[in-house]
Each structure stands twice: as structure tokens, then as C-alpha cells.
Amino acid sequence: MLNRVPAGGNVVLLYASKYNDVPTVINISGRFHLEKGMEGRLGKDFLQRIKQNGFIDVTNRKGQFEYRVTQESLMDRLTTDTRAACLSIDQNCRLLTIHGSRDKIVPAKDALEFARFIRNHKLHIIEGADHEYTAHQDELATVVLDFVKAVREDRNTAELLQSCERAVNFIKARI
């Protein structure tokens, strides 16, 4: 699973913490501290407005509608324990977090938190990259592809070893 949408990394990580059917997660600029950054995205009086209206429509810089935040979804986000979720991710799930060192939207220190609490985790900080990886698209793509290739090779090696182990056990049983 790969995230690259608003709150996408958090959704993928939360899913992986609940279900053990996710073998690989790539978290790009995900936010660990979910309560932060809300005011910048929703406005200073977001709590009052959401209580009053039950929702907030989020628009882009051009004023075009992007998505709706409901009071329920906001409260879910504000009460999510990311640390506990990270600790619940299956140890066989391979996880890569990529973050830009100059990300002003989600601080790179959030990436360090993921690295602290996820067992089978690899962290890659791209020096000089902002949240959109504006001048670092090639490096971002290379890091993702290298990780996917490494995971694939590890899985193929594991399958080969299991097959060899079964063959050895079969031979031992016949001797």
C-alpha cells in the first residue's frame, strides 16, 4: 500500500494496524501527531465551525472544493493513538517512511516517531526536499522502487528457503 493523499498515510497505517493482510506499506510524508496541522488546513475557528455546521468543506488555494471533514471524522482523527497503532502493525509488514528534511507542512520529526514505534521499519529522509518533493521527484521515485524491489527479493528468497526446507524435511523423512 502506498500513501500520497491528505491523511492517506495515516489511513494506510491504521488499516495495517488492524488487519494483518498488508505485507508492505510506503508512507510518504505521513503525519504522526494527528492533532497538529489542523488549524492550517481548516482555519483558526475550525472547532467552532464544525460544531455549528457538523462539517467543514476544505478548498484548495483556488477556492475549489477538495473534500469534506465531518465532525465525526475530525473527532476520530483527534482521538487516534498513532503510537498504539504503530505498535500493533504486524512484524512481518515491511514499512518504509520517506520524508523531506525541509517539509514545512509535516515536520520531519514525525518520520522519526514512526521509526521509533514500528518494528519492521525503514526510514529515508530526502535532504532538502519539501512536502511536495518539488526538486526531488527522481530521488523519491528511486527510493520507492528500490524498496519495492528489495521487499520482492526478500519475499522470493523466503519462498525459496521454505521450498528448500520442505525438500530437506521430505528427504530426511525418507532416510
Q: Rounded to an integer, what distance in angstroms lies between the CA atom of residue 89 and that of residue 14?
A: 8
Cell digits of residue 31:
503525519
Q: Rounded to an integer, what distance in angstroms lies between the CA atom of residue 10 and that of residue 3?
A: 8
> 3 pLDDT band (50/70/90 cuts)?
very low
Residue 43: the pLDDT is 84
Global pTM value: 0.78
Domain count along the chain: 2
pLDDT in tens, 93-137: 999 999 999 999 999 999 999 999 999 999 999 999 999 999 999
Do residues 72 and 100 share a domain? no
Do residues 111 and 43 share a domain? no
> 60 pLDDT band (50/70/90 cuts)?
confident
Taking all residues of the chain, what is their mean pLDDT, rounded to a whole number?
Answer: 86
pLDDT in tens, 70-94: 999 898 888 999 999 999 999 999 9
Cell digits of residue 128:
532538502
84-118 core/surface letters (b: 16 or more CB in 10 A; e: else): ebbebbbeebbbbbbbbeebeebbbebbebbbebb
Can you give the C-alpha Rg of the chain in angstroms? 20
Show the domain range for 26: 1-32+81-175
